[in-house]
Amino acid sequence: MLPIVTERLVLRTFAESDLDDLHDIQRRPDVARYLLWDTRTRDESRTALAKRIQQTDLKAEGDNLAIAVTLRQSGKLIGDFNLEWLSADLGRAEIGFVMNPDYAGKGYATEAAREVLRLAFNTYAFHRVIGLCNGENYPSQRLMERLGMRREAYFRQSEILKGKRVDLAVYAMLADEWLDVDV
């Protein structure tokens, strides 16, 4: 993936030098709260980073593109995004995102996610992009709504997360809908 430069951010592939900032995100209980994994030790973050470094393109169904979101001015990693190719036949992908809460409320997540959707629809030509989140994860739901994604389903107590039944919110956008909101 070539770097994508916005007004305030650079979206790029992950590098070994991202370990400190990635661990700073992954060690936080407020980040891991709605994720499938618990807070991570530095070694666990190192292992996760090694995997993310390898996820540089979408060439076949099942591939995941790991996207490091950094501040343009300082190069500091503040976000970890995914674009996963779910189905070749259906042209379906899934967007996922984790941001450092210290940078919340500044529009960085929206700016980055908009570029990931642009990549999904304009570069990879997906027909449909979905986003899933815990039903109590209101910031993620608001982000997907700001992007123009539509809530298509809300499944009550449909998942088990860390031993607890939780709700699941499902959002989606079609390629032709993206054309209507693309900026």
Amino acid at 157: Q
114 in Cβ contact with 150 (< 8 Å): no
The residues, ordered by sequence, that sit 6+ positions from 110 with a Cβ below 8 Å of its Cβ are 143, 146, 147
* Per-residue pLDDT reduced to its tens digit, 103-129: 999 999 999 999 999 999 999 999 999
Strand partners, 174: 128
State mean pLDDT over 78-107: 97
- How far apart CA 93 and CA 121 sit, in angstroms, is 10
CATH C-level class of 4-180: alpha beta
Q: Which residue has the tokens 């997360």?
A: 161
Strand partners, 151: 171
Chain centroid to CA 116: how far? 8
Q: For residue 119, give the DSSP letter.
A: I
- The CB density around residue 1, as the number of other CB atoms within 10 Å, is 17
State mean pLDDT over 64-89: 98
pLDDT beyond 70 at 183? no
pLDDT beyond 60 at 76? yes
